[in-house]
């Protein structure tokens, strides 16, 4: 087993929960069995192309709860919610498969994949190749890798393994140093998490600062703290190609309309389109 560094705080707790969940599932379904299922999974949808489409993309997230905010809905129906997001114009879907912190399950990936034609990403604290093979086996088209959750060696190993599975990869960063790590890895899709996982403060200005160091041919996704069309408009002006939105959409009485408002936000007011 690969050694790992124990991290403090909520991030450390979520990472340890991911290891526990993975160990439990591996005991039930060995990796070789999951990899065999992955080889017969539906063809990968082009997550990267979806993010590069004209205008501001909206990656709509499905999660029944948050470790910070608690339950986000008392009636979690992934397939129905996914269809509403698609109707609103989402470019892709992010599905939480982390059980302890977010109430999701890997099986939700298959439920969502079957319900829509959009690319689907496994959102999780991925710490093991098993989670990546499992994502592909359940029909995921992409996975999230969080730089803060992994050593550089493990990040590179998991990135290479995900590529081998044919998956698209969104590499999440929280700082200039982590952005450099993602770029050195060769990441094509970089997610900027505005939430500092040490003190949970939101800094929407981080996307604009990191856009300056991320080449224009790399996709930049703004994550966390996107609560309104005004926020989406600001982030588009700062150079975001897409926004990833969870809590705001989960709490919306009309998720399709909420997605449409975010997607169309850059059409109103002054925006700074990338050349």
Exactly one of 123, 178, 261, 265 is catalytic; name it: 123
Residue 115 in domain: yes
In the chain, % of residues over pLDDT 90:
80
Cα–Cα distance for residue pair 239/272, rounded to 1 Å: 7
The pLDDT confidence band at residue 8, using thresholds 50, 70 and 90, is low
Two tokens, residue 162: 């995900």
Residues 6+ apart with CB under 8 A from 214: 179, 183, 190, 220
Residue 168 in domain: yes
- Comparing 5-14, 147-156, 250-259, the range with the smallest average pLDDT is 5-14
Residue 220 in domain: yes
Residue 2 in domain: no
Exactly one of 134, 223, 263, 265 is catalytic; name it: 223
Exactly one of 172, 178, 263, 265 is catalytic; name it: 172
**Whole-number pLDDT of residue 275:** 31
Cα–Cα distance for residue pair 147/140, rounded to 1 Å: 20
Whether 178 is catalytic = no
Whether 61 is catalytic = yes
**Whole-number pLDDT of residue 5:** 53
Could you report the per-residue pLDDT of 208-242, keeping only the tens digit for each? 999 999 999 999 999 998 999 999 999 999 999 99
**Whole-number pLDDT of residue 91:** 98
DSSP, residue by residue, 25-45:
HHHHS-HHHHHHHHHTSPPPP
Exactly one of 94, 189, 193, 265 is catalytic; name it: 193
**Whole-number pLDDT of residue 266:** 66
Answer whether residue 139 shows pLDDT above 80: yes
Answer whether residue 191 shows pLDDT above 80: yes
What's 59's domain CATH number?
A: 3.20.20.70
Residue 136 in domain: yes
Residue 178 in domain: yes
Whether 107 is catalytic = no
Answer whether residue 162 shows pLDDT above 80: yes
The pLDDT confidence band at residue 160, using thresholds 50, 70 and 90, is very high
Answer whether residue 271 shows pLDDT above 70: no
Whether 63 is catalytic = yes
Tell me how many domains the chain contains: 1
DSSP, residue by residue, 155-178:
HHHHHHHHHHTT-EEEEEESSHHH
- Comparing 33-37, 113-117, 255-259, 266-270, the range with the smallest average pLDDT is 266-270
Domain that residue 125 falls in: 9-40+54-267
Residue 48 in domain: no
Whether 176 is catalytic = no
Residue 107 in domain: yes
Exactly one of 94, 189, 224, 265 is catalytic; name it: 224
For 238, left (φ over 0), alpha (ψ -120 to 50), or beta? alpha
- Contact assessment for residue 77 and residue 104, using Cβ atoms and an 8 Å cutoff: no
Cα–Cα distance for residue pair 129/123, rounded to 1 Å: 14
Cα–Cα distance for residue pair 104/51, rounded to 1 Å: 24
């Amino acid at each position: 087993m690969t050694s790992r560094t124990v991290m403090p705080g909520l991030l450390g707790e979520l990472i340890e929960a991911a290891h526990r969940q993975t160990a439990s599932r591996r005991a039930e379904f060995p990796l070789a069995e999951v990899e065999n299922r992955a080889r017969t999974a539906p063809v990968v949808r082009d997550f990267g192309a979806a993010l590069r489409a004209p205008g501001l993309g909206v990656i709509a997230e499905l999660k029944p709860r948050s470790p910070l905010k608690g339950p986000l809905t008392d009636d979690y129906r992934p397939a129905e919610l996914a269809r509403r997001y698609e109707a609103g114009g989402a470019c892709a879907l992010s599905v939480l498969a982390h059980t302890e912190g977010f109430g999701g399950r890997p099986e939700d990936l298959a439920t969502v994949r079957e319900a829509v034609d959009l690319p689907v990403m496994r959102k999780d604290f991925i710490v093991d190749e098993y989670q990546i093979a499992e994502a592909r086996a359940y029909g995921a088209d992409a996975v999230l890798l969080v730089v803060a959750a992994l050593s550089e060696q493990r990040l590179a190993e998991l990135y290479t393994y995900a590529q081998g599975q044919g998956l698209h990869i969104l590499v999440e960063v929280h700082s200039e140093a982590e952005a450099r790590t993602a770029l050195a890895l060769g990441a094509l899709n970089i997610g900027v998490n505005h939430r500092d996982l040490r003190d949970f403060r939101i800094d929407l200005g981080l996307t604009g600062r990191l856009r300056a160091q991320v080449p224009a041919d790399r996709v930049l996704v703004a994550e966390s703290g996107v609560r309104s069309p005004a926020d989406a408009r600001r982030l588009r002006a700062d150079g975001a190609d897409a926004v990833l939105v969870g809590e705001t959409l989960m709490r919306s009485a009309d998720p399709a309309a909420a997605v449409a408002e975010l997607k169309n936000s850059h059409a109103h007011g002054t925006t700074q389109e990338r050349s």
